[in-house]
Amino acid sequence: MELDIRNLTKTFGSTAALHGVDLKVASGELLALLGPSGSGKTTLLRCVAGLEIPSGGQILFGGEDASLKSVQERQIGFVFQHYALFKHLTIADNISYGLRVRPRRTRPTAAAIRDKVEELLALIQLPGYGGRYPSQLSGGQRQRVALARALAVEPRVLLLDEPFGALDAKVRKELRLWLREFHDRTGHTTLFVTHDQEEALDLADRVVVMSEGRIEQEGTPEDVYDRPATPFVFDFIGESVRLDIHVDKGRPFVGQQEVSIPRLPPLLFDGPAKLYVRPEHVAFRRDGEGLWATVVSLHRSGSSRRIGFRADGTDTVIEALTPADREPPRIGDRAALEIQAAGLFAA
Amino acid sequence: MSDSSVALAASLEEAPAAGSVAVRPPRRRLPTEEAPWVRRLLITLAVGFLALFLLLPLVTVFMEAFRKGAGAFIHAFADPAAIDAIILTLVVAAIAVPANLVFGVAAAWAVAKFDFRGKAFLVTLIDLPFSVSPVVAGLVYVLLYASHGIFGGLLQANGIQIIFALPGIIMATVFVTFPFIARELIPLMEELGNTDEEAALTLGASGLRMFWTVTLPNVKWALLYGVLLCNARAMGEFGAVSVVSGHIRGYTNTMPLHIEILYNEYQFVAAFAVASLLAALALVTLGIKSWLEHRYAGDLAAGHRH
């Protein structure tokens, strides 16, 4: 089921949580809503679910307007950060809850419900756990049960709100891989909210980066990591330093030195600007052409080494990443920096 | 604590046997541990206070009730006025407690699940019966509903009697016992939040279905606990009921009022016999409450006792 969100706005009292969001989700897509807290990603998810009433705009499920439908009518599956399993019910009763609350006409028979529960328990790799209670399960197991419970009602869209947020780092990674495989097998249109960029880039087909109630960028993980569209995305995803530079006659200058940056679109403005550079895009040589700088810091972390340079005429430290086994320069050494990729925005 | 001191003592005894220096190190106290005499003093104070002010009166009630033997005790209940008082008390509790169950759940739901203007005021209002003297509550009802009261004319014209009748007694009891259930539920429901309810709704449950299958099971122990406390207070309420009842023997006398009348008429054995019944009711309530607390605490901690 494809999803079409049109000009969606939401205000809480006098504060706006969403400013006219437009987003299309293809059928079977696994899409991540990524942003810091307060960026509106959870509000957007809850509006799609029908748990929040939007202040304006439309939400279409498969071309059909669902904006005015109640949460029950939307037939979505929702997975909460803290699982929200019913702790007085067994795992089997939790999973079958959505089927058992149906009106008699559409409710499956008891035998059909039992079969469905068994099938789902097998799918989440917890066969034989039906008689236990949620408190007897680990966090990762509970989250899988929550997923099974959401899937039992055969939802048209699966919505996950920080699904790994309450788990420890190791379980988080395992469950993330598991969810990716699970999605590839079941193919539900899935939206998940996260503030963890690694999670979003690792798991999603497409990432939507949000900030302050607006979409900053949407694209594949490669798009948002390699070609950040806005200063916010550069700051938020991956690592980068910001250099205050100057554009003169369409050419960028760091202090008095002109820098050459490959694949930069033509600069249509003059004046102060901001240059965002990732450490892995900085190369250095002891001689030749480039941005001349002095080594100011050396820092070994695991298999790589970070070298801090201060370019002539600036105060900002530009970091470069090199393998740890490569002979490092010494503090105070001079080097020519080559910036292999960067983002440039008018200040 | 006692285990570790035993272990310490054992190791100290072994030390001289091994041939080392026989100087016993001074027994060291934890920073949070009081000196033994302080501990003894505090325990004596607390136990003495409880014995003098709580236990002794309770024992006295039963002793006085049986002072002239079981025959006199039973005779006290042969009085039709006593039976009427017991029945009235049960009827009042049977109406006031379910009423407060409904109001309490509604108020707790409103406070815990919604944000609205005047919420803080509502919470304060719920506590009002705790802070205001029950006599004042009774007097206000008289002022409002008695024949010379504000609504008196209207009520009289329609042939409705509230003050000096059952409705007034029930209203006064509802007023006094209102906070017990709401106060028990609000903190728990606030802590639980909305997520379980939202999960039920996304799975297709109707609001009512969600309430019965998710909200109510989540708060059932707290609710039962609140109902018990509310019931105990409803049966024992004196002040507010005293003002609105009019003390009509066999008609508007509840058990506490009946006890007062008997006492004032120097029928001490009969007074204490009825009083012992009230006290026994309170003890049963307390017993169930402790059992519930035990069970309910386990429910919250482990979450898998059913």
Tens-place pLDDT, residues A277-310: 999 899 998 888 889 999 999 998 888 899 999 9
Determine the pLDDT at residue B18.
46
Who among B199, B213, B306 is closest to A78 (CB)? B199
CB contact under 8 A, B217 and A76: no
CB contact under 8 A, A133 and B204: no
Determine the pLDDT at residue A222.
94
B163 to chain A, closest Cα gap in Å: 45
Same domain, A100 and A136: yes
Same domain, A197 and A303: no
Whether chain A has a CB inside 8 Å of the CB on B219: the answer is: no
Three-state secondary structure of chain B: CHHHHHHHHHHHHHHHHCCCCCCCCCCCCCCCCCCHHHHHHHHHHHHHHHHHHHHHHHHHHHHHHCCCHHHHHHHHCCCHHHHHHHHHHHHHHHHHHHHHHHHHHHHHHHHHHCCCCCHHHHHHHHHHHHHCCHHHHHHHHHHHHCCCCCCHHHHHHCCCCCCCCHHHHHHHHHHHHHHHHHHHHHHHHHHHCCHHHHHHHHCCCCHHHHHHHHHHHHHHHHHHHHHHHHHHHHHHCCHHHHHHHCCCCCCCCCHHHHHHHHHHCCCHHHHHHHHHHHHHHHHHHHHHHHHHHHHHHHHHHHCCCC
User: Above pLDDT 90, what percent of chain B?
Assistant: 45
A47 to chain B, closest Cα gap in Å: 12
CA–CA gap between residue B146 and residue B153 (Å, rounded): 9
Same domain, A215 and A128: yes
Which of A230, A255, A272 is at the close of a domain?
A230
Same domain, A208 and A275: no
Low-confidence ranges of chain B (pLDDT < 70): 1-24, 296-306
Whether chain A has a CB inside 8 Å of the CB on B200: the answer is: yes
Same domain, A46 and A157: yes
- For the domain B69-302, what is the CATH code? 1.10.3720.10
Determine the pLDDT at residue B296.
65
Same domain, A296 and A175: no
Determine the pLDDT at residue A98.
95
Which of A174, A199, A230 is at the close of a domain?
A230
Same domain, A289 and A143: no
A117 to chain B, closest Cα gap in Å: 15
What's the token pair of residue A47?
């509006």
pTM: 0.79
CB contact under 8 A, A88 and B202: no
Band (pLDDT 50/70/90 cuts) for residue A182 is confident
Q: What is the residue range of A90's domain?
A: 3-230
Interface size A-B, in CB pairs within 8 Å, comes to: 70
Determine the pLDDT at residue A289.
84
A178 to chain B, closest Cα gap in Å: 23
Band (pLDDT 50/70/90 cuts) for residue A110 is very high
Q: Say whether A107 sits in a helix, a strand or coil.
A: coil
pLDDT tens track for B130-150: 889 999 989 999 998 888 888
Could you tell me which chain B residue has the CA closest to the CA of A49?
B202
Whether chain A has a CB inside 8 Å of the CB on B306: the answer is: yes
Whether chain A has a CB inside 8 Å of the CB on B84: the answer is: no
Looking up residue A53, the CATH number of its domain turns out to be 3.40.50.300
Same domain, A183 and A223: yes
Same domain, A219 and A253: no
B256 to chain A, closest Cα gap in Å: 41
Who among A49, A135, A153 is closest to B304 (CB)? A135
Give how many domains chain A has, as a whole number.
2
Determine the pLDDT at residue A192.
94
